Amino acid sequence: MRNLRIIPLLIIFISISSASFAQDWAGFNRYKESNTQVASAPKAVFMGDSITDNWASWDSDFFTSNNYVGRGISGQTTSQMLVRFRRDVIELAPEYVTILAGTNDIARNNGEITLENVLGNIISMCELAKANNIKPILCAILPATGYRWRPEVKPADDIVKLNGMIRAYAEQNGIPYVDYHTLLKDEHNGLPVKYADDGVHPNVGCYKLMEELIMKYLP
């Protein structure tokens, strides 16, 4: 009988958790307070997922000393970033926005999505930036051969393909393209353990290499 009583409570908890997630699917609340504390326009906003989220936390000096702002949210896809782009980028009025996005789309974090639609979301972010006098910088998705949270997905080839699409769009539209993938990949188009314990999320040493590269595009 005790177990039977627990089951309805679990159902209620799951329902509440799901409803809470649905109410802020794009993650507006994550940086709501932080955005109000940005006193002057940053040099650049770094838009992204957990890779950017960790970056701003683990090497905060890099961001504060250069007047950069990190706006990464763990697990997010390009669809979610596009929805919150106005709040977390445009309203901060930066000179630049760097966009490092797409690996969670390939991981199917929000279900199936074509690479063409992922690119479309990235293009829309660039168009929004340009329309608001913000210079976009597109970043290659970091290499990966697998995702621990989605073991059935083998992302290496899709990452290479999507990066090629992003690069082509960037070159056709005069947008800088930061090739993290070539910088960091191993012979299997993965992220080696010296850069990431889980093959996806960079360590501090890896971020240092990424910083050296991205600074070439942020005069």
Please state, for a pLDDT cut of 90, what percent of the chain lies above it: 89
Convert the pLDDT of each residue in 89-140 to its tens digit: 999 999 999 999 999 999 999 999 999 999 999 999 999 999 999 999 999 9
Question: Does residue 13 carry a pLDDT above 90?
Answer: no
Instruction: Please name which of 198, 195, 197 lies closest in space to residue 181, comparing C-alpha atoms.
Output: 195
216 DSSP 8-state letter: G
Residue 23 banded pLDDT, cuts 50, 70, 90: confident
Instruction: Please name which of 160, 125, 126 lies closest in space to residue 142, comparing C-alpha atoms.
Output: 160
Give me the mean pLDDT over the 49-74 stretch.
98
At 19, phi and psi to the nearest 5? -65, -40
Give me the mean pLDDT over the 17-36 stretch.
82
Contacts of residue 121, defined as CB under 8 A and 6 or more positions apart, other chains included, come to 77, 78, 79, 81, 82, 101, 105
Question: Does residue 12 carry a pLDDT above 70?
Answer: no
Q: Which CATH number fits domain 43-217: 3.90.850.10, 3.40.50.2300, 3.40.50.1110, 3.40.50.300?
A: 3.40.50.1110
Question: Does residue 164 carry a pLDDT above 50?
Answer: yes
Give me the mean pLDDT over the 181-207 stretch.
98
Query: Does the pTM of the predicted model rise above 0.85?
Result: yes
Each domain of the chain, given as residue ranges in start order, spans 43-217
